[in-house]
Amino acid sequence: MPERLFVCTPSKLGTYTDCPRRYRYSYVDRPTPPKGAPWAHNSLGASVHTALKNWYMLPTEQRLPEVLPRLLKATWVREGYRDVDQERATYQRALDWLESYVATLDPEEEPLGVERVVAAKTGVLALNGRADRIDNRVGPDGPEAVIVDYKTGRSGLSADDARGSQALALYAFAAQRIFRRPCYRVELHHLPTGVVAVHEHTAESLDRQVRRAEETALDIMAAEKAVAAGADPDEQFPVNPGSLCGWCDFRKVCPAGAQAVAKEPWTAVEHLSA
Ligand code: SF4
């Protein structure tokens, strides 16, 4: 058993799984190495997420499509776009997505949580994280919680994405404890296409994801401990070069990232203004 619980979010664990070196740059090295410029796709994702959060903050009678331009404009993040024309075109696409999406929602329905922080402990982890939405639904055996995650990326999503998402599974694990009701269903809502990718977990599949998260945490703690004892940080947190490098905030400071083809901050939103 570890001496202390590993305090983490699903995103922190995911960063290590993707690339231990990126984890080190993000969470271990202090001061944090300089990051690249902000990404337009992150700005877009944040803007849409906040608009949806604020839509749910309104009284039910005000949750109307007409309020969406005001909500989106109020919290629109401007960083990363090539120019004002690209930003405007992307704003319009985001507004279209939101209008189509809220047309599928029942404004009278109150979720259990919106941008809700959930937390839970295991023998190894002190987990916390912010779920986009936790729905209050009635399943075959009565009330249940459903984890909803909004996606705004270019690629479509499948049930395999929902099944494989460790973050969604960890949110479900934590939500069960917090709301004291079953939480096995996880959903990815892809706003650009309206696709909802669903997976129904079981107690066993959630348990497997928690065990995997614990193994990752133990690996991280072992690497951090070794570095504290004088081991080479480059060896303990090796690079994992691949397709992620082009999108990595630390590409310029990482020896492996320097080999990757650089992406412009707006590359991932270029198709929206074409
Ligand atoms: S550039 Fe690639 S190898 Fe380097 S930290 Fe980022 S993801 Fe890892």
What is the residue extent of each domain of the chain?
113-210
Q: What is the pLDDT of residue 126?
A: 97
Mean pLDDT, residues 140-157: 93
Find the distance separating the first CA and the last CA of the chain, reported in whole Å: 54
**This prediction's pTM:** 0.95
Tokens of 218: 């133990």
- Most informative mutation of 29, 239, 247 for ligand 1 (most atoms within 8 A of CB): 239
Ligand 1 centre to CA of 235 (Å) is 14
- Most informative mutation of 16, 21, 23 for ligand 1 (most atoms within 8 A of CB): 21
Give tens-digit pLDDT for 69-82: 999 999 999 999 99
Mean pLDDT, residues 27-42: 96
Q: What is the pLDDT of residue 2?
A: 54
- The answer to whether residue 194 scores a pLDDT higher than 80 is yes
Mean pLDDT, residues 6-22: 98
Of ligand 1's atoms, which has the minimum distance to the CA of residue 18? Answer: 7
State the CB neighbour count (10 A cutoff) for residue 206. Answer: 18
pLDDT confidence band for 273 (50 / 70 / 90):
confident
Q: Whose CA is nearest to atom 2 of ligand 1?
A: 245
Which residues lie with the beta carbon below 6 Å from any ligand 1 atom? 19, 21-22, 25, 239-241, 244-245, 248, 250-251, 254, 256-257
Q: Whose CA is nearest to atom 1 of ligand 1?
A: 257
Please write down the long-range contacts of 52-59, taking CB distance under 8 Å and 24 or more positions apart.
Answer: 52/98, 52/101, 52/102, 52/114, 52/132, 52/133, 52/150, 53/114, 53/115, 55/98, 55/102, 56/111, 56/114, 56/133, 57/114
Q: How far apart are CA 228 and CA 119, in angstroms?
A: 28
pLDDT confidence band for 1 (50 / 70 / 90):
low
| Average pLDDT of the residues of the chain | 96
Of ligand 1's atoms, which has the minimum distance to the CA of residue 245? Answer: 2
Mean pLDDT, residues 42-46: 98
- The answer to whether residue 165 scores a pLDDT higher than 70 is yes
Ligand 1 centre to CA of 239 (Å) is 6
Q: What is the pLDDT of residue 139?
A: 87
CA angle 179, 182, 187 (to 5 degrees): 95
